Amino acid sequence: MKKLLIVDDAAFMRLSIRNMMNNYDIEIVGEAANGLMGVEMYKELHPDVVTMDITMPEMSGIEALKAIKAHDPQAKVIMVSAMGQEGMVKEAIINGAKTFVVKPFKEEFLYQTISKVLGL
Amino acid sequence: MLTMTNQEFSQLAAYIKANYGINLKEEKRALVTGRLHHVLIQNNFRNFSEYYEHILTDKTGNGAATLINKITTNHTFFMRETDHFEYCKAQVLPYLANQVKAKDLRIWSAGCSSGEEPYTLAMVIDEFFGKERLLWDAKVLATDISSRVLEEAKKGVYKNAEIATLPAQWRLNYFRKIDNEKSVLVDRIRNEVIYRKFNLMDSSFPFKRKFHVIFCRNVMIYFDAQTKWELVNKFFDLLEYGGYLFIGHSESLNREESKFKYIMPAVYRKE
């Protein structure tokens, strides 16, 4: 079972992603509520893939992405963006994010995206 | 001065809670007595029990309307919590201008009181779009529970002292002086706001299409936690994805429970 780390400051969104992945062979190994926590949890939990929100307190998703990539250049990070954040998504891709999903998204789409990134 | 007994206050408070969602705590008793005193005298009620009986039996609804007009406080002024309007201009409107291809913005000022908030929004929109404004349908829906304040708001007449805090450019472009005391908003702005009487406690919300922005500032402070929670969820459902909710600076949504994404103090987004 592949391990997913969810990084999002909104508890509602963390829960949504967790529920969406219930029906698939993806294990949620951790939930982080800001970028800083996300980086720490990545180092500790070694997930196969990360869903990374963009705007968060403490440390933004882009800063967290950079820190994770510096620690593990192979890290697979999917950016979770809201509408109107095209510029930030571009910056994230330049900094090593594998791809992105735009909220709101359906569970099949999220799973397909994760599968593709993991080469399943 | 008439006094209000414990029982009279509880009765009235329960009635207001049930019908309007407003939670009157014990410390508001003197305020409520003061605000209703004149109504009782004018209508020859001997005490608050008689008045309460009248509210319950009055089929015209006028009694209840007067009561709610007196109870709801209407502290508001132009550019209240200015950073909200600045955020609108710098972030929200550029986003919507780019996103909303049909060029119809749907903005709701819920609890608009005497009109300062929706008119400020109309001015911000006008200034943002400039000449492009004509290409957009960007009327602001403004609702309030109090018919008295809505009538005031529609007139668009304000004291010169009240608009003194506005940018000089706005006073020049959007207001016409009536005399040394008062000014009136130009029709171009006045016509951009649609006023409707609406009770946020109504079980069904009669809106056909979803909103891009909802302002509901310093309204929910009168509601208890449950009522507020239900209303915030309704706002969430009524917003388009990517839409914004603005609440008062003294208010906040529980970040662990709310479906909204926190953007900055008192600004939330449906993502």
Find tokens 């201008």 and name the residue: B97
What architecture does CATH give domain A2-118? 3-Layer(aba) Sandwich (3.40)
Q: Where are the domains of chain A?
A: 2-118
Output the CA–CA distances (angstroms, integers) from residue A111 to A14, A16, A18, A118, B106, in the order listed: 15, 13, 11, 10, 34
Question: Is B271 in contact with A84 (Cβ distance < 8 A)?
Answer: no
Cβ atoms of A73 and A43 closer than 8 Å: no
Measured in angstroms, the CA of B265 and the nearest CA of chain A are apart by 12
Residue B82 backbone phi and psi in degrees, to 5 = -50, -35
Residue with tokens 């009782």: B40
> Residues A70-75: contacts with CB within 8 Å, 24+ apart?
A71/A39, A71/A42, A71/A43, A72/A42, A75/A42, A75/A50
The span from the CA of B157 to the CA of B169, in Å, is 18
B101: which chain A residues are within 8 Å (Cβ-Cβ)?
A: none
Which residues in chain B are closer than 8 Å to A9, comparing Cβ atoms?
A: 255, 261-262
Instruction: Output the pLDDT for position B55.
Output: 92
Cα–Cα distance, A62 to A69 (Å, whole number): 11
Cβ within 8 Å, pair B261-A9: yes
Q: Which amino acid is at B203?
A: S
CA distances from B34 to A105, B4, B28 (A): 53, 10, 10
CB pairs under 8 A between A and B: 39
CB crowding B76-113: b at 16 or more within 10 Å, else e: bebbbbeebbebbeebbbebbeeebeeeebbbbbbbbb
Cα distance from N-terminal residue to C-terminal residue, chain A: 11
pLDDT tens track, chain B, 271 positions: 788 999 999 999 999 888 888 888 888 888 889 889 888 998 899 999 999 999 999 988 888 888 888 887 666 677 778 899 999 999 999 999 999 999 999 999 999 999 999 999 999 999 999 999 999 999 999 999 999 899 999 999 999 988 988 889 999 999 999 999 999 999 999 999 999 999 998 988 999 999 999 999 989 988 888 999 999 999 999 999 999 999 998 888 987 789 999 999 999 999 9
Q: If phi over 0 gives left and psi between -120 and 50 gives alpha, with beta otherwise, what is residue B114?
A: alpha
All residues of chain B having their beta carbon less than 8 Å from the beta carbon of residue A82 are 242, 261, 269, 271
Report the residue from A12, A55, A82 with minimal CB separation from B258.
A12
Domains within chain B, CATH numbers bracketed: 6-71 (1.10.155), 82-269 (3.40.50.150)
> Would you call A82 and B260 a contact, using CB atoms and an 8 Å cutoff?
no
Contact flag B255-A10 (C-beta cutoff 8 Å): yes
Q: How far apart are CA A35 and CA A53, in angstroms?
A: 8
pLDDT (tens digit, 9 = 90+) per residue, B197-253? Answer: 999 989 889 999 999 999 999 899 888 889 999 999 999 999 999 999 999 988 889
Q: Do A83 and B260 touch (CB under 8 A)?
A: no
- Is the CB of A84 less than 8 angstroms away from the CB of B261? no
Helix, strand, coil tally for chain B in percent (to 5)? 50, 20, 35
Q: Are A26 and A1 in contact (CB under 8 A)?
A: yes
CA–CA min distance A35, chain B (Å): 15
What are A12-69's pLDDT values in tens digits? 999 999 999 999 999 999 999 999 999 999 999 999 999 999 999 889 999 999 999 9
**A84: which chain B residues are within 8 Å (Cβ-Cβ)?**
95, 98-99, 242
Q: Is A83 on the interface with B (CB under 8 A)?
A: yes
Task: Give yes or no for A9 touching B (CB within 8 A).
Answer: yes
Amino acid B74: pLDDT: 63
E strand map for B92-219: 107-110, 140-144, 157-159, 175-177, 182-185, 193-197, 211-216
CA angle B115, B189, B85 (to 5 degrees): 65
User: Would the CB atoms of A103 and B263 count as touching at under 8 Å?
Assistant: no
